Chain A
């Protein structure tokens, strides 16, 4: 006997969840290539433009025959792709505007036809177009015994959309894995692809066909907005997290699945529209990735920059102390601060240097420790080698090179064999040995 709570889940939530999951994965998978090819908005255009096809198929056949509606929608999706190309090429219209013209006119046509159909009191609804009818995918008679889970009869009333979406997901996965190499090269460089005998134009049309199929299959269940979100957001999220196409694709699938599950769970918990919630969740995931991606995230970048700034400040403090000691004078805090540009950062750097044991303080007089001195020497060495390089190789005049060298000494070593003399810098100062 299956417990009541699980039965409720099976009957109310399983299929909407599955539908959302399948839609998210198939769109998310294809979205990788759309984002990579800077054609994200083609997904947008197609998912708007399938509407007239759906409605027309309905009006012609006078039934909600799934096959016919699917064909109608697919045809209008392909018409969109072709029309955008035609208007771009023949009309010399800017690509964005061409897309805008095509999908808005087709969408308007869809709405127009829909209202006509609605006038004949038919159960098509303009709002459904946007956010689907996810929450109506019931399992009317879910199995009540565990054993029934394995009998085919229990699955006789699985909603058609779920089957369609499952098939689509399978097809899209096959397509991407079989044509991975071709898709990759055609997306990266159409010219190279063509030279290697891969017809980039054909790949484009093939991709668009699958985009259209995914959009159409998802459309009815999850609505156009979620389709657009799933084409773009998981791929964009993965793009923030990875640098390789393969890992990007895997990450995007995981993100898409997570988005669907989390979004759906929240939606059924607080009882709001599920498609809208999943789209919102995809945005939240993206924001999280943008902020906290370990490599490309805003936080990581800021931290890296700050760390770098601290390193530069520390090295500047050590360098200044080295120069002061070179001239056989002593430095107190004020002098040091004055010579390093006097800000809170160098004060912090100084205390850091103290705690690292690089700098000693005696009666307010600062001096380098043994370790500090060798570290400082290597910094000064790099600085003076850079000055030498800039004067000798880059042909700058000696009184010009200090500031440039100042920037470079923190980042890159100069190989000393690139210079003719390595014991003094252009100002005659000794270059500390390695």
Chain B
């Protein structure tokens, strides 16, 4: 049996939110949840708490099952959404509290504490679920959906609740942006200013709890953490600014939520949770590879260009030094592609198998030579306090050091009997 064939018309209808009231509500709610998860996940990432969120979300299971058991024992309907969410929140928070207790009172490290809470709480949850299953026939099956999530089972009010929580959580996070930022960046400074770091951390945790319980139904408790981790991790590749990180993360989260809910509305067999995560995961992979600021491809290109530039400068400098009569300089042996590149740029020309600088090539070589000498002298004079973030072979002296310092270097070089070509050799 394959999925029912979906015609183009209904795809467009669903995508543009014309696919029926219930479907729209669910799609909208899931998108808002994705936005909120992106916003709050950004801070969880920066606070290095991503996996605490994982433990928290797994730890909600016993709470869900217990809430169901207790409320049915009291004679209420066990499947009331707010009750289950309350149970989930309580046991999630309990799980995080256990992590802190373990860290405080034992020699165990954070990774172990997270793993312990995650697996033991979930184990207890599974035990309770099997109790639910054996005590109440049939209706319990619904609880399983909170593990993997199922948008199909959602009704409109569930979707509104989810969207509402998403909006509120995002707003709180945006209002507190400044406080979250300083605590994430420099906790001790925040504390020295008298900021209640524990309170700010607790608010952050509360927001993570809100997102987790809100997403139980649509995404499920195992995969909800992906909505908190992946969007900010993907967004980080695109920007170096916090507000942009939050914005991009929200967009990626929203997009993932939207597409996940839409696809699962179109193909009821596809579980929304995993589709959401797969969309987010694809965005992550694309971002990691192709993002212009921190992407792997951009980084590789930058590195290759740097290497080419160093090799190119080396050839030009050697040729220049041969021309001005330095002894002991070997004729540069360069790869043929590099020679061709330099010929193409018009910096060198071939003459009877020998390489010669052109006019422009000479000014280049002169500039490089000068730069090289100055850096060398700088390292000789100021080695003990050399700045760490300079790429000696590439960075222009003039861009890094003050005029005053360069002048001192020139004098020092003259004292050693070395002549420094003037700067007007041109800075291309």
Q: Which residues of A does B touch, CB under 8 Å?
A: 35, 38-41, 43-44, 48, 87, 90-94, 96-101, 104-105, 107-109, 111-112, 115-116, 118-121, 126-127, 130-131, 225-226, 228-229, 231-233, 235-236, 239-240, 267, 271-273, 275-280, 282-283, 286, 290, 296, 298
Residues from chain B with Cβ under 8 Å of A35 in the complex: 108-109, 111-112
Which residues from 75 to 117 on chain B have a C-beta closer than 8 Å to any C-beta of chain A?
102, 105-112, 114-116
Contact (A280, B127) CB under 8 Å given A41-B111, A44-B118, A112-B270: yes
C-alpha spacing A10/B242, complex, angstroms? 62
Which of the listed residues B54, B112, B222 has the most CB atoms from chain A within 10 Å of its own CB?
B112
Contact (A97, B111) CB under 8 Å given A44-B118, A228-B118, A279-B123: no
Q: Is B129 an interface residue (CB 8 A)?
A: yes
B187 to chain A, nearest CB (A): 16
B293 to chain A, nearest CB (A): 11
C-alpha spacing A315/B115, complex, angstroms? 45
Asked if B105 contacts A38 (CB within 8 A), the reply is: no
C-alpha spacing A91/B148, complex, angstroms? 29
Asked if A111 contacts B111 (CB within 8 A), the reply is: no
* Segment among B225-233, B370-378, B399-407 that sits at the interface with chain A: B225-233
Residues from chain A with Cβ under 8 Å of B236 in the complex: 93
Asked if B123 contacts A105 (CB within 8 A), the reply is: no
* Segment among B153-161, B191-199, B275-283, B314-322 that sits at the interface with chain A: B275-283
B275 to chain A, nearest CB (A): 7
A87, A98, A107, A233: the one within 8 Å of B116 (CB): A233
Asked if A273 contacts B129 (CB within 8 A), the reply is: yes
A44, A97, A120, A275: the one within 8 Å of B229 (CB): A97
Asked if B147 contacts A109 (CB within 8 A), the reply is: no
* Prevailing SS type, chain B contact patch: helix
Contact (A277, B274) CB under 8 Å given A40-B111, A290-B106: no
Residues from chain A with Cβ under 8 Å of B280 in the complex: 105
C-alpha spacing A120/B229, complex, angstroms? 32
A41, A101, A279: the one within 8 Å of B122 (CB): A279
Asked if A283 contacts B51 (CB within 8 A), the reply is: no
Q: Is B250 an interface residue (CB 8 A)?
A: no
B240 to chain A, nearest CB (A): 12
Asked if B222 contacts A119 (CB within 8 A), the reply is: no
Contact (A91, B120) CB under 8 Å given A100-B54, A273-B126: no
Residues from chain A with Cβ under 8 Å of B273 in the complex: 108, 111
Asked if A100 contacts B229 (CB within 8 A), the reply is: yes
Asked if B127 contacts A107 (CB within 8 A), the reply is: no
Q: Is B391 an interface residue (CB 8 A)?
A: no
Q: Which residues of B does A touch, CB under 8 Å?
A: 1-3, 45, 48-51, 54, 102, 105-112, 114-116, 118-127, 129-131, 134, 144, 147-148, 222-223, 225-226, 229-230, 232-233, 236-237, 269-271, 273-278, 280-281, 284, 288, 294, 296, 299
A350 to chain B, nearest CB (A): 33
Residues from chain B with Cβ under 8 Å of A98 in the complex: 233
- Nearest neighbor of A271 in chain B, beta-carbon distance: B134
Which of the listed residues A87, A97, A267 has the most CB atoms from chain B within 10 Å of its own CB?
A97
B267 to chain A, nearest CB (A): 9
Asked if B123 contacts A232 (CB within 8 A), the reply is: no
Contact (A105, B134) CB under 8 Å given A93-B236, A240-B107: no
Residues from chain A with Cβ under 8 Å of B3 in the complex: 119
Residues from chain B with Cβ under 8 Å of A235 in the complex: 112
C-alpha spacing A93/B230, complex, angstroms? 11
Contact (A240, B106) CB under 8 Å given A87-B288, A93-B236, A283-B123: yes
Asked if A105 contacts B120 (CB within 8 A), the reply is: no
- Nearest neighbor of B121 in chain A, beta-carbon distance: A283
Which of the listed residues A38, A48, A273 has the most CB atoms from chain B within 10 Å of its own CB?
A273
Contact (A105, B115) CB under 8 Å given A93-B236, A239-B108, A273-B126: no
Residues from chain A with Cβ under 8 Å of B119 in the complex: 44, 225-226, 228-229, 232-233, 279, 282-283
C-alpha spacing A43/B119, complex, angstroms? 11
